[in-house]
A and B are shown apart, each in its own frame.
Chain A
Amino acid sequence: MPEHKVGTREEWQAARDELAKLEAEHAELGRKAAEKRRELPWVPVEKEYEFDTEDGKKTLAELFDGRSQLLAYNIMYGPDYQVGACPGCTNLGDELEGTRVHLNHRDVTLICFSRAPIDRLVAYKERMGWTFPYVSTYDTDFPLDYGLMLTPEQAEQIPEVQELIANPPDWMQEWAEMVGAELKDGVREAPSFIAFARDNGAIYHTYTVAAPDPFVQPYSQFLLDRTPKPQPEEPRAWRKDEYPDA
C-alpha cells in the first residue's frame, strides 16, 4: 500500500469537487491580474537601440517583424558565461518553441534576448535546436535601461546578492560551473519577460515580469503542480542533452 491516504471513488470525487472551487477562484484571480496588466500605462521608448541578430543589425522596431506586439524572454547568458546559457532558462526556451507559431497568429512576435555576443547565441541555438529569433543585447544600453542586468557596482549594493555570492548553496555553485562563470558575474543577468507594443509608428514598453514569478520559471512546473510528488526544495535544472541518466 502506498503511504498516501486512499479513498473510494465517492471520497475522491467529493474531495476533488471541493478543490475545484478553490481552483476556480484562483483562475478568477488570474483573470483579474490579466485585466490589471492591460491597464498599465505604456512608456514611450525614446532611445534608438541596435541589436546584433542572425540577420545583421536590427532596431527594436525591426524586431517586431511586422506585428504590433513584441515579447522577449531574457535568457541568462552573459558575456562572462564561458560554457552556455543558464540551464533553467534553456528549459524555458525548449518550451517556447512549439507555442510560438500560435502566438505569431495572435499578432505577437516572440524572441529571446541574451547579453552574450551573437555568435555564441547562434551556436547555442543550433545545439538546442531552437527556431525562435535569438537577439544579442551585447554592447547596448538596452539591458541596463530595462533592468535585464546588474552592473558589478549595482550587484555590490544589493545585500541579498552579496550574501548569495558569499555563501552559495551547493546547487548555485553547480549552476555557476554549468554556465562557466564566476557566481558574482553569473548572477548579474536578470531572467525576465519584457513586452513592447508598436502603435502608429511609436514603440512603447508595456510590461516586465522577473524571477521569482513562476511565469519566468520552466513551464513544466505547471504540470508538476498537479502530480503527487512534491517539488524538490532546490531548483536544479539540466539542459535536455545533459541529463545525468540520459
Chain B
Amino acid sequence: MPEHRTATPEEWQAARDELLKLEKEHTRRGDELARMRRELPWMKVEKDYRLETEEGPKGLADLFDGRSQLLVYHFMFGPSYEAGCPTCSSMADGLDGLIPHLHARDLTPLFVSRAPLEKLQAYKQRMGWKMPWASSAGTDFNFDFQASYTDEQVREHMGPMLDDPPPVLRQMADAAGTDVAGYVSEGPAATVFALADGDVYRTYSTGARGLEFLMGYYPILDRLPKGRDEGSSGSDHWVRRHDEYEAS
C-alpha cells in the first residue's frame, strides 16, 4: 500500500471539499470540450468502401444500421495477427455492456479490423462479445483513417526501433502472435461518422491517449489508493485478455 496519513472524518471532509473544486473544474472543461467537438466541421467521405460483415459486404452508410451516428473503433487485429491486441480486448470487454444504451441514443458502435472476417469472428466468439465487427481487408479504409500503416510507413516511422524494440512492444507482438513490424502495422484509433441525407461525414477522430475514454478501468483506478500502478515510466503493461490472467 502507498504511504498515507490518517485523519478524522472532519479533516478528511475538508480535504475532500478542496479536491471537489478541482474535480468540478475538470467536469466543466469536459462539458466545454464536448460542445467544441460538436462544432468541428464535418468532412464528407467521398470514397466508396465495402467492408465484410457477418451479413455480407456492406457500404459505410449501411454500417450505420438504421441510426444516424456511427462510432468505429479500429481494433488492432492486422492480417498477420493470430489474436486481437490484448489492450483493445480489455476495452472491448467494457464496451459490450454499453451497446443497448448507445443504440438508444442513435449511435451504432462497431469494430473494424484488417484481419479476414473469419479470424475476427472466431476471436469474438472466444471472448464472448456481442459487438458487431467488420473486416476492412483489401480496402483503404483503415489506412485512410490512420489506423493501419503500409510496410513503408512502418519502416519510416519506426526505423531502428524495429531492430531493437522496447520490451512492451515485443510482449504485445508475442501476445498477438505476430512480429513487431506486423504488430505496429495497426494503430488504435476511433472515428465517428454521421449520416445525413444519404451522405457519410467524418465528424471526429482520436488515437493514442485520446482513447482513454474507451477504457473503463482507468477512471476507476484513478479513484483508488494505488492508482494505475504502472511503474514510474507508466509502461508496466498489466492488461491481459480476460481469459489469460493468472489465477489470483
Could you tell me which A residues sit within 8 Å of B by CB distance?
1-2, 4-9, 11-12, 15-16, 19-20, 22-23, 25-27, 29-30, 32-34, 36-44, 68-69, 71, 91, 94-99, 101-108, 110, 193, 195, 197, 199, 204-209, 213-215, 218-220, 222-231, 237-238, 240, 243, 246
**Inside 8 A of A209's CB, which chain B residues have their CB?**
23, 223
Chain A residue nearest to B13 (CB atoms) is A43
Extra inter-chain contacts (20) besides given A30-B222, A102-B93, A227-B71, CB under 8 Å: A7-B41, A16-B204, A29-B25, A34-B222, A41-B5, A41-B12, A69-B225, A95-B94, A98-B94, A101-B245, A102-B239, A105-B240, A199-B1, A207-B16, A213-B27, A220-B102, A223-B98, A226-B34, A226-B190, A229-B106
User: Is B203 at the interface (CB under 8 A from chain A)?
Assistant: yes
User: Is B109 at the interface (CB under 8 A from chain A)?
Assistant: yes
Known contacts A38-B225, A103-B217; A8 and B19 CB within 8 A of each other: no
Contact B102–A106 (Cβ < 8 Å) = no
Q: How far is the CB of B136 from chain A (nearest CB, A)?
A: 19
Pick 5 A–B contacts, CB within 8 A, sort by A: A38-B227, A42-B225, A105-B245, A107-B229, A223-B214
Contact B224–A195 (Cβ < 8 Å) = yes
B192 partner, pick from A68, A219, A220, A227, beta carbons under 8 A: A227
Chain B: number of interface residues, binned into ranges: 35 or more
Contact B101–A220 (Cβ < 8 Å) = yes
Nearest 9 Cβ contacts at the A-B interface: A7-B41, A41-B7, A2-B196, A98-B93, A12-B43, A34-B222, A99-B216, A225-B34, A94-B97
**Inside 8 A of B102's CB, which chain A residues have their CB?**
220, 223-224
- Inter-chain CA distance A95–B133, complex, in Å, is 19
User: Is B206 at the interface (CB under 8 A from chain A)?
Assistant: yes
Q: How far is the CB of A142 from chain B (nearest CB, A)?
A: 14
- Inter-chain CA distance A111–B212, complex, in Å, is 23
**Inside 8 A of B36's CB, which chain A residues have their CB?**
19, 22
- Inter-chain CA distance A226–B193, complex, in Å, is 10
For the A-B complex, the count of residue pairs with Cβ-Cβ distances under 8 Å equals 251
Interface of B: prevailing SS:
mixed
**Inside 8 A of A103's CB, which chain B residues have their CB?**
217, 220-221
A38 partner, pick from B2, B16, B90, B242, beta carbons under 8 A: B2
- Inter-chain CA distance A91–B100, complex, in Å, is 9
User: Is B232 at the interface (CB under 8 A from chain A)?
Assistant: no
**Inside 8 A of B206's CB, which chain A residues have their CB?**
23, 226
Q: How far is the CB of B97 from chain A (nearest CB, A)?
A: 4
Chain B residue nearest to A208 (CB atoms) is B16
**Inside 8 A of B228's CB, which chain A residues have their CB?**
106
Q: How far is the CB of B13 from chain A (nearest CB, A)?
A: 9
B93 partner, pick from A8, A22, A99, A226, beta carbons under 8 A: A99
**Inside 8 A of A30's CB, which chain B residues have their CB?**
26, 222
Q: How far is the CB of A145 from chain B (nearest CB, A)?
A: 9
Known contacts A38-B227, A206-B224, A229-B69; A101 and B12 CB within 8 A of each other: no
Q: How far is the CB of A60 from chain B (nearest CB, A)?
A: 16
